[in-house]
Amino acid sequence: MQHRHLLSNEIDLLLDGEVGFGVAPLRAHADDCAECRARLDEALVVADALERLPHFAPRTGFADRVLSQVQIVQPWHVAALDTARRFIPESRPLRAVAIVGAGAASLAVSASAVWIAFSADLSFQSAAFVTSRGRDALVTWAGRAVEAALGGAAVDAVRSNGPMAMVAGVVALVAAVGVAAFGFRALAANSRQRGN
């Protein structure tokens, strides 16, 4: 028998019915020491009471019901990707059509940009035709679009043909993008209706 009282963790060992090396001396002490015996009995009462408490379990779907009310902030790029994914058809033939369509659309955009670049008047020769402010904005925008699509060399290669040509080019570009977007939407709706 050891010559000190039991520690809390040692009482826990006895409560759990551990039978490892070193538990026997603890048991022996508890048998001989009235104070430790009392503490062990108290702990047994508490453990017993805890064991008899009703065991609660959540109803099925509890986690789903909670999570359905949790506001999850979705980063914009994740939302954008999800939206883009909804437009991509699931079936293989439709997907091929979509890829071809995307290629055609980007080609149309590029071609429009090239046309703008070569027909737009970026040299301010006809500044009187359009108010200079709107024109500046348009020229800057068209220049950036061309630069993004074809690189800086295309901007350098711009020729002058009058602002009307430039405006027509911008309209063509916007129309191409619009038609492409509308086409994809129709394609996606069609694929959803078919359920594949």
Give the distance from CA 110 to its chain's centroid: 30
Q: Which is nearer to Zn ion, 33 or 177 (CB)?
A: 33
The reply to whether 26 sits near Zn ion by the rule CB under 5 A is no
Largest CA distance in the chain: 111
To the nearest whole angstrom, how small is the minimum distance from the Cβ of residue 19 to Zn ion? 20
How many residues belong to the site for Zn ion (CB under 5 A)? 4
**Region of 35-43, 70-78, 80-88, 154-162 interacting with Zn ion (CB under 5 A):** 35-43
Rule CB under 5 A: choose which of 1, 2, 5, 16 binds Zn ion: 5
**Region of 1-9, 48-56, 137-145, 181-189 interacting with Zn ion (CB under 5 A):** 1-9
> How far apart, in whole angstroms, are the C-alpha atoms of residue 138 and residue 132?
10
> How far apart, in whole angstroms, are the C-alpha atoms of residue 169 and residue 141?
12
> How far apart, in whole angstroms, are the C-alpha atoms of residue 162 and residue 118?
11
To the nearest whole angstrom, how small is the minimum distance from the Cβ of residue 24 to Zn ion? 15
The reply to whether 192 sits near Zn ion by the rule CB under 5 A is no
Q: Which is nearer to Zn ion, 44 or 181 (CB)?
A: 44
Q: Compute φ and ψ for 66, nearest 5 degrees.
A: -65, -50
Distances (CA, A) of 105 to 47, 95, 146, 192: 73, 15, 15, 22
User: Which residues would be at the binding site for Zn ion (CB under 5 A)?
Assistant: 5, 33, 35-36
